[in-house]
Amino acid sequence: MIILAVACSSSTPGKTEEPAKTDAAANSSSEEGGKSEASKSLVVYTAAATDVMNVVIPEFEARTGIMVDVVSAGTGELLKKIEAEQANPMGDVEWGGTVSVVAPKQGLFEPYKSENESYIIDSANNVEGMMTRYDIIPMVLLVNKNLIGDIKIEGYADLLNPKLKGKIALSDPAKSSTGLTHIANILQTIGAGDENKGWDFIKSLTENLDGRLLSSSSAVPKGVADGEYVVGLTHEELASAAVRQGSPVEIVYMQEGVIVSPGTVQIIKGAKNMESAKKFVDFLTSKDLQTLTAAKLNMRASRSDVPAPSELIQITDFKIVQEDLKYGLADNQTWLDKFKDIYTSN
């Protein structure tokens, strides 16, 4: 989820012609009850990958006439930014992150359910009222094929190979929802039934990081693709983007088990462009958009009527770990504190 960890703002160029409207677009741009025209601008805080933004944002602008400013950073950093700006929200939408990371901060967001909620698969329903799931994201490893040599990587256990010391990319779980979800993935697989065993593994893993911890989710696949690292802990969308871009990389689904998390989008409480924000959430959950992102970006849709991309392995072909949200939500800060202690002691 990308551009790099330092938050920056950029405007996407405007369109010079009025697009033909689908029924959904016509509905989203109509005015009700004689109200004045809604705002034609939107500020999106996002951890989405660059190629995802390059498809979604121009398509949204073309269909709605709403111009989007993007602020890109890791989910953890964005949540801190939103929290700091509560008295005067500077953003309208937070796009990206997983339920386990966003849910503890759900008080920062407006209650809103997309007009497409009835099409969302049961396991991705917006039961909280303010977190809309727009895609399904497996956690994965990404391996540089040019650098791996004879080192076998089939799962987490292989990351402790001494040959990989200093060559493993992991994003700081305090700044990245992907990094934190991998911690949860390890604790629920290697540490299943004995959390101490999971933390013992994480201690060994941090030792093999050799003092290197990345500041954003997006830096992981970039580092692997550029040859700075041999392997990275990332998620399927970012990994798939690196494959599509022609990088010498391959995706590995951990043999210990894979947490499959929905990506979320939510409206920031007190958003200045509230109607535009609602249209953006509706757009991300529309059949047109999810069909487009499945075809162009290999994204797994959250809608029940959009099939998985043919380029990805079927979700039934790897071992799925059901994310224990109650367990995770209760322990997020404890995990972050413990990870920090372990990492800084190495």
Q: What is the pLDDT of residues 258-276, one digit of tens each?
A: 988 888 999 999 999 999 9
Angle, CA of 100, 340 and 234, to the nearest 5°: 50
pLDDT tens digits for 231-249? 999 999 889 889 988 999 9
* 296-326 pLDDT per residue, tens: 888 899 998 998 887 788 777 889 887 776 6
What percent of the chain is modeled with pLDDT above 70? 87
Alpha-carbon span 182 to 235, nearest angstrom: 9
Q: Which helix (H) or strand (E) holds 230?
A: none
Q: Do residues 301 and 284 make contact, with C-beta atoms less than 8 angstroms apart?
A: no
* Residue in 115, 93, 104, 95 with CA at minimum distance from that of residue 267: 93
pLDDT level of residue 23 (50, 70, 90 thresholds): very low
DSSP per-residue letters across 10-33: EEPPPPSSPPPPPHHHHHHH---T
Mean pLDDT of 69-77: 92
Look at strands 258-267 and 132-144 and give their pairing. antiparallel
Does an H or E element contain 132, and which? strand 132-144
The residues, ordered by sequence, that sit 6+ positions from 327 with a Cβ below 8 Å of its Cβ are 188
> Is 44:89 a contact under the CB 8 Å cutoff?
no
6: phi then psi, degrees, rounded to nearest 5: -75, 120
Q: What is the pLDDT of residue 28?
A: 40
Q: Where in the chain is the domain with CATH 3.40.190.10?
A: 8-136+262-301, 137-259+315-345
pLDDT of 27 over the 60 cut: no
Mean pLDDT for the chain? Answer: 86
Which string of b and e fits 208-217 if b means at least 16 CB within 10 Å?
bbeebbbbbb
Tell me which fold the domain 137-259+315-345 belongs to.
D-Maltodextrin-Binding Protein; domain 2 (3.40.190)
Q: For residue 23, how many C-alpha atoms fall within 13 Å in the half-sphere facing its CB?
A: 2
Please name which of 264, 101, 263 lies closest in space to residue 175, comparing C-alpha atoms. 101
For residue 102, give the nearest of 171, 180, 219, 48 by alpha carbon.
Answer: 180
Strand spans (E) along 148-190: 168-169
Confidence of residue 38 (pLDDT cuts 50, 70, 90): low
pTM check: above 0.85: no
Please state which CATH number belongs to domain 8-136+262-301: 3.40.190.10
